[in-house]
Amino acid sequence: MSENLLSSLNESQKIAAQHIDGPLLILAGAGSGKTKTITTRLAYLISIGIDPASILTLTFTNKAASEMRERAFNMFDSSIINRLPLLCTFHKFGLLFLKFHMDELNRKNNFIIIDTDDKKRVLKSMEKDIPAALLVSEISKYKNSLLTPTEAKKNAQLKLYEQIAQIYEDYENYLEKNNLVDFDDLLLLPYKILKKNENLAKQISQKYQYIMVDEYQDTNELQYRLLRLLCSSHNNLCVVGDDDQSIYGWRGATIKNILNFSEHFENTLVVKLEENYRSTDTILNHANQLIEHNRDRLGKKLVGTRVKGDAIRVYESHDENEETRKIIEDIKSLINSGENPKNIAILFRVNALSRSLEEGFNKAGLNYKLVGGMKFYERSEIKDLIAYFRLLTNSNDNFSVKRIINKPKRGLGKTTIDKLEAKSIESGKSIFDLIQQLEADEISSLVGKKNARTLKVFEASVLDLKELLSESKMKFLDSFEETFDYRASYDNLPDGFERQANIDEFYGYIRDYFIQNPNLDLKDFLNDIALESENDDYSGEAVSMMSIHASKGLEFKKLFIVGMEEGFFPLTGDGSDLEEERRLGYVALTRAMDNLTLSFVHSRFYKGKRTSLVKSRFLTESGLIKGSLTIEKQSGFKKGDLVSHKIFGMGRIEKAVNAGKDYKLTINFGGTHRDILSSFVEKI
C-alpha cells in the first residue's frame, strides 16, 4: 500500500513524504505539490502503522482543512483505522485544547467565542474617543506578540498608547469576567497553559508525535512558540511553505519563521520542490515575472511541467457594470460548453468589489458561493439569534443580554439598559442574575414599574427555554420562536422578507446540526459557527467568489481576477506594503490552472461615490500589457521631448498618459508643471 501511495509523487516529494523522524522543511513555490506531499505523508505514516491519533495537521482556513482531509482520507482505507487523525485549523485546535484544559487558568470550559464585530462592540462600550478598529488591531498585535497589559503599558511611549494599553487591560478583565474568548485567545490561552505547565506540555507533545503545518510562511510569533511547545519532546515537525506567498504580514505573520526554521530546529532536512504541476507555462511565466519585482525574497526556481496554454486575457471596461457583464457572458458560455461551475472562480483584493458581481449573478440566475466574504453570521438578525442562544447557555453573558434585551421591541430604552449595566458593575453580578435575584420592587425602584414587569417576563421566558433546552434541543427550537416571536418581528418591514429568509436558513441549519451531531449541545454549535464565520464557508457546485486571502492554497481551472486598478490592487494607503501586495498578486495568478482573465475598469462606484481609476502596475510588471513607454511610442511624445504651446511657450515633457482619444502630457514650462492635451502642443 505504501508504494502505491507514493507512486504519484516525484523524487523530491517522495523523499519528503517518507521522512519520518526529525524536523522537515519543504520550501517551494506555488503549485509544486507541497500540500499534496504532506497529505500523502499523512497517509504514508498511517500506512506504515503509526497511530492516526498521534498525527496532528494544521492549516489556516476551514476550506483548506476540508480539502486536505478529502485528499488525505481518500488515500487510506479509513475502515481499518479506529480513529481519524486530527486535521484542522490552528484556531479549531486551540478551541479543542481549551475545552479540555481551560481549568488550568481557573476558568470554566463553557466559554463563548466572540468575533471581531463583537470585540468592536465591547471596546466601543469601554472607550468612545479612540476608533474601535484601532483598538481591535492594537490589542490583537499585543496578544500575538505575547505582550501582557502591564508590558504593553510599560512599552507605551505616547499618551495614546498608554490609553490603549489600559483599555487592553480592561478588555481582558471583561473577557475573563464574562468567560468570553476572542480569536487571538484561541491560540494565546493554549500557549499560556502549556507554558506554565511543563508536564502538560510534555503530555500533549507525546500525544501528538507527528505534527505538520501547511502554509508555514503565514505563521506568527505566537503560532511558532505554540508549535515549539507542542513538539517539545520529539521535534517531529514537518512544515511546508513559500516565502513568496506570505500574505499575512499585517496580522503579524513573520517570514522569519520559515527563513530561520533550520536554526530553530536542529538537524532539519530541507527539501525543495522545483516543478509546478498546476498552471500552464503561460500563466506561470507571467506570475514569475510579477514576483521578480520583489527584492525581499529567497528567489526559488520554479519550472512548468504543463503545456504552454492559452494567452492570459486582459479585460478593459468602462465601469464595474460592463466588467460584470463581460465576465458573466464568459462564465455562461463556459458552463454551456460543459465546464463544472466549481472549477470557476472570481478573485478580488477588496471584498467590497463582490457587490456588483453578486448583483450580476443574481440577475443572470447563476449560482455562486461567496467564500469568507459577507458573512452570514455577521448579519444583524443572525447575530441577534446568536446572542439569544449565548444567553441561554451562559447567563453571565452581559454582552449578549444587552444586544437582545429589547429585541423584538419590549419598550426597554437605553437609559434602562444603562441603569442595569451600572448596577451590574456595582454589584459584581451579571445583568441577567440581577433581574433574577432582585425582588420585583427593587427592580421597580431601579427602572420603574412597567420596565420591571417586562424584565420579569423576559426572565421567565429565558428560564423556561433553558429548562426545555436541557430536555430536548428540537423542542427548544420550536418553542424559541413561539416565545419571542423574533422572526415575526420582521413582518411587513421593508427588508423583512430577506431577513426572514436568513432567519429560516439559520433555524434550518441549527436543526440540521443537531441531527448530524446528536451528542453536541448548543454551546458546541455556537463555538463551531464562530470559527466558521471568521474563516470561510464553502460547498456545492457553484462559481466561487472570494478575496485573494481566502484563495490561498486553492486552485481553479478557469480564473478571473477583477479590480486590477491602482489603489484597489495594489491596495494603497496607510500601512499598505507594496511587496506584500505583490505577493498577493503572485498568489492570485498562481491559483489558475488553465485559463486566466484579469480585468480593470476606468471607474468604480465605491464608498458612495464614483472614482476614476488607473490600471494596476501589476499588469505591466507581469508582462501582460506594455508600460507607459509604449503610450509614448504610440503618441509620438516621450519623456524629455521639447514641445511648444501657443500660450505657455516651450516646455519639456515629463510624462505621457492615455486620455481618451488624446494623450495627456505633463509638461515642465520653465519650472511650472502643467497637464496639457497632446493636440494642443507641437513637437519641436
Binding-site residue positions for ATP = 28-35
214 is catalytic: yes
Contacted entry of ligand ATP, Mg ion, none for residue 567, CB cut-off 5 to 8 Å set by kind: none
13 binds, among ligand ATP, Mg ion, none (CB under 5 to 8 A by kind): ligand ATP
Say how far apart CA 464 and CA 150 lie, in whole Å.
Answer: 43
- Residues 148, 162, 176, 277: which binds ligand ATP (CB under 6 A)? 277
How many CB atoms neighbour CB 156 within 10 A?
Answer: 15
Q: Tell the smallest beta-carbon distance from residue 39 to Mg ion (Å).
A: 9
State the minimum distance, in angstroms, from the CB of residue 216 to Mg ion.
11
Contact 636, 683 (CB under 8 A): yes
Point out the catalytic residue in the list 402, 582, 591, 604.
Answer: 591
Burial class of 679 by CB neighbour count within 10 A (0 to 12, 13 to 18, 19+): exposed
For the bound state, the minimum distance from the C-beta of residue 541 to ligand ATP, rounded and expressed in Å, comes to: 19
x-or-dash string of contact with ligand ATP, 579-598, rule CB under 6 A: -----------x--------
Q: Is 664 helix (H, G, I), strand (E, B) or coil?
A: strand
Of 247 and 469, nearer to ligand ATP (C-beta) is 247
In the complex, the smallest distance separating the C-beta of residue 254 from ligand ATP, rounded to whole angstroms, is: 18
Q: How far is the CB of 315 from ligand ATP (least distance, A)?
A: 24
Residue from 36, 69, 92, 549 in contact with ligand ATP (CB under 6 A): 36
Sequence-distant (6+) residues with CB within 8 A of 681 are 643, 644, 645, 651, 665, 667
For residue 147, give the DSSP letter.
Answer: -
Rg (CA), the chain: 29
Q: Which of 115, 138, 185, 215 is catalytic?
A: 215
Of 277 and 669, CB closest to ligand ATP? 277
> Which among 121, 663, 570, 657 has a CA at the least distance from the CA of 380?
121
Of residues 35, 61, 89, 416, which has the active-site annotation? 35
DSSP 326-386: HHHHHHHHHHHTT--GGGEEEEESSGGGHHHHHHHHHHHT--EEEESSS-GGGSHHHHHHH
- Tell how far CA 530 is from the center of its chain: 13
Question: Are 268 and 21 in contact, with CB atoms under 8 Å apart?
Answer: no
Three-state DSSP class for residue 429: coil
- Three-class DSSP category at 32: coil
Q: How far apart are CA 424 and CA 401, in angstroms?
A: 12
Which C-beta is closer to ligand ATP: that of 249 or that of 448? Answer: 249
Q: Which residues bind Mg ion (CB under 5 A)?
A: 34-35, 553
Candidate residues 23, 94, 304, 553; the one interacting with ligand ATP per rule CB under 6 A: 553
* 280 sits near ligand ATP (criterion: CB under 6 A): no
Do residues 298 and 262 make contact, with C-beta atoms less than 8 angstroms apart? no
Nearest to 454 by CA among 490, 411, 497: 411
- CB-wise, 35 or 551, nearer to Mg ion? 35
Task: State yes or no: is 245 an active-site residue.
Answer: yes
Q: Does 35 bind ligand ATP (CB under 6 A)?
A: yes
Residues 2 to 31: which contact ligand ATP by CB under 6 A? 8-10, 13, 28, 30-31
Q: Is 487 a catalytic residue?
A: no
Distance (Å, whole) CA 591 – CA 584:
11
The option from Mg ion, ligand ATP, none interacting with 595 (CB < 5 to 8 A, set by class) reads none
Alpha-carbon distance 123 to 172, whole Å?
A: 11
With binding defined as CB under 6 A, does residue 33 bind ligand ATP? yes
Place of cell 453570521: 377
With CB atoms as reference, the residue minimizing the distance to ligand ATP is 33
CA proximity to 498, closest of 381, 408, 367, 407: 381
Binding-site partner at residue 30 among ligand ATP, Mg ion, none, CB < 5 to 8 Å by type: ligand ATP
192 is catalytic: no
Verify cis geometry, omega within 30 degrees of 0, for the bond prior to 570: yes
- Catalytic residue, chosen from 115, 118, 182, 214, is 214
Report in angstroms how near the CB of residue 241 gets to ligand ATP at its nearest. Answer: 8
- Helices vs. strands in the chain: H and E counts, helices first: 29, 22
**Binding-residue pattern over the window 215 to 254 for ligand ATP, x denoting contact by CB under 6 A:** ---------------------------x--x---------
Displacement of CA 379 from its chain's centroid (Å): 17
Known catalytic residue at 215:
yes
Amino acid at 359: E
C-alpha cell of residue 70? 478529502
Q: Is 557 helix (H, G, I), strand (E, B) or coil?
A: strand
Q: Which of 32, 59, 354, 533 binds ligand ATP (CB under 6 A)?
A: 32
Q: Which is nearer to ligand ATP, 245 or 454 (CB)?
A: 245
Residue 235: CB minimum distance to ligand ATP, A: 23
Which one of ligand ATP, Mg ion, none interacts with residue 9, CB within 5 to 8 A by kind?
A: ligand ATP
Nearest approach in angstroms of CB 190 to ligand ATP is 26
Annotated binding residues: 28-35
Considering CB distances under 5 to 8 angstroms, the limit depending on partner class, which of ligand ATP, Mg ion, none binds residue 32? ligand ATP
Q: Which residues bind ligand ATP (CB under 6 A)?
A: 8-10, 13, 28, 30-36, 242, 245, 277-278, 553, 555, 590
Which residues are part of the catalytic machinery?
34-35, 214-215, 245, 591
